[in-house]
Chain A
Amino acid sequence: MNLHAFSEWLSATAFSQKIQITSWAIPGIQTVHLLAIAALFAAALVVALRIGGRGLASEPLPSVARRFGRAIWMLLVVLLVSGSLLIVAEPGRTITNPVFYLKMTMVVLACVITIWLANVARRELERPAAIHVAAAAFTMILWTGVIFAGRFIAYVESY
């Protein structure tokens, strides 16, 4: 079964149909998705700034990384659930859309670097190396890319 056939099957399921005919469902789920990405972006920004010696600079790095790291993972779960519901509701808009795959690639990459940085932070590094600062900055570029790609899914044609 190819992606197009899967997409058609998925959008014909009773659950997908239920979301599609509920007028407030898609903007409602998108609002949850937006609130979660806003909170995740800010939490990631606080961690990245702290690694760069800015923001909550008077706080120990392990404490900042642990507290905001926990928020990042909880918000990722919210994003995955709300995002999955949006795919089920409109599979033709996403799973055959190249921008969606670009977005998912950036999400995975950002998560991998975040896990690595969380491990670095746990070792109580008082002065993170240049590579860690660069990696933290790169995660913010990736999350920015995720936000742009998320919006561009609506503008780029599915194949």
Chain B
Amino acid sequence: MNMQFFEWLQNTPLATTVSENWFPWVESAHVLFMAIVAGTILIVDTRLLGLTSHQLRVSYLADRMLPWTWGAFTGSVITGFLMFAAGATNYVHNTPFLVKMCLLVLAGINMLYFQLVTFRTVGRWDAGRPPQAARMAGLTSILLWIGVIGFARWTGFV
């Protein structure tokens, strides 16, 4: 891995300002954004699993929740990038951090597959019990997000 890039990144004025002055604020904002992302996703996932919000159409619930999910996800990426820049040379060797990022990519693939494939037939199950593929997507999403948050917290202990 080209360490020069990460050394450069870590020594940019922005990165040093984060590590010297802003880190607790950026980290707290990251937790806040994470809470909105994971919390709103959980509301949709438990509906897919048939555990909650039975009276709501899946498409309506997703439509009402996902703008918050994506807005907060943007905030998570920005705050996450600032934290990464502040300690880039360490994070690239931090195993829990790397596992977290892999799980995040898997969560994205799971969501994309659900959106592009499973959700196309939503008209048939919108108001009722979602099919097995949708329930699997919900369960997979919950498990991946538990992993993302767990490995993210572990990152700070290494």
Contact = CB atoms under 8 A, between A and B. Distances in A.
Interface in A142-159: 144, 147-148, 150-152, 154-155
Interface in B17-61: 24-25, 27-28, 31-32, 34-40, 42-43, 52-53, 55-56, 60-61
B146 A35 contact: yes
B35 A37 contact: yes
B64 interface: yes
B28 A148 contact: yes
Nearest to A57: B64
A119 interface: no
B99 interface: no
B154 interface: yes
Contacts, number: 79
Nearest to A33: B153
Nearest to B23: A155
A139 B54 CA distance: 27
Contacts of A39: 38-39, 42
A147 B43 CA distance: 20
B150 interface: yes
A13 B43 CA distance: 39
Given A31-B149, A148-B32, A38 B39 contact: yes
Nearest to A75: B39
Contacts of A46: 43
Contact of B27 (A30, A56, A144, A151): A151
A125 B46 CA distance: 28
A144 B146 contact: no
20 contacts: A27-B150, A27-B153, A27-B154, A28-B150, A30-B153, A31-B150, A35-B146, A37-B35, A38-B36, A38-B39, A39-B38, A39-B42, A40-B39, A41-B36, A42-B40, A45-B36, A45-B68, A59-B56, A147-B32, A148-B25
